[in-house]
Amino acid sequence: MTKTPEKFSKAQIYLHWIVVALVAFQYLLSDGISSLWEKRMDNLIPNEPSFNPHVLVGVIILLLALWRLFLRFKHGVPALPASENKIASLVAKATHILFYVLLIGMPFSGAGAWFLGIEQLADLHALASNIFLALIIIHILAALLHHFVLKTNVLRRIVGMK
């Protein structure tokens, strides 16, 4: 990273919330692709990939995650509050690394499963999905803790407020 800005750039904020919305879409509408996958694996339909919005949105998430990562390295990100406990700081950094690993890795595991019909990749994708959901919950709870209990600006800066 080149520097430690006081706040996120507008592009970083917009990309964050667009990815949040797309990830929510993926979770809310994942039953369709799961149903098709099960039918393919049970030989009820040919084991051939078909168009599914889940796949398209996964590709979009991958591209936006790569863009976010580029912006993160180009512009930096705000530092954690000075009052942040060392363990909490480590957890926050590890959480963000894991977010990027999942945002980039899941489209590949999903595409590998969907387009190549590899069941192990589908299992890996499902496991990653559960880990990702747990991580999202932890992330939201940490943001709320920072805002309401610790009274820091962590949540405000990702919504574009000071």
Pick the closest to residue 140 from 58, 20, 29, 22 (CA basis).
Answer: 20
Mean pLDDT across the stretch 51-78? 95
Rounded Cα gap, residues 6 and 78, in angstroms: 5
pLDDT number for residue 2: 56
Longest dimension (CA), the chain: 57
pLDDT number for residue 3: 77
Counting runs of H as helices and runs of E as strands, what totals does the chain give? Answer: 6, 0
User: Taking the domains of the chain in order of start, what are their residue ranges?
Assistant: 10-158
pLDDT band at 1 (very low <50, low <70, confident <90, very high): very low
pLDDT number for residue 160: 86
Sign of CA dihedral 83, 85, 90, 93: negative
pLDDT in tens, 86-124: 999 999 999 999 999 999 999 999 999 999 999 999 999
38 pLDDT more than 70: yes
Cβ atoms of 132 and 102 within 8 Å: the answer is yes
Rounded Cα gap, residues 30 and 124, in angstroms: 15
Window from 41-45, 56-60, 68-72 with minimum mean pLDDT: 41-45
Window from 48-52, 62-66, 114-118, 132-136 with minimum mean pLDDT: 48-52
Cα 157 to chain centroid distance, Å, stands at 19
Mean pLDDT across the stretch 4-27? 96
Rounded Cα gap, residues 100 and 120, in angstroms: 22
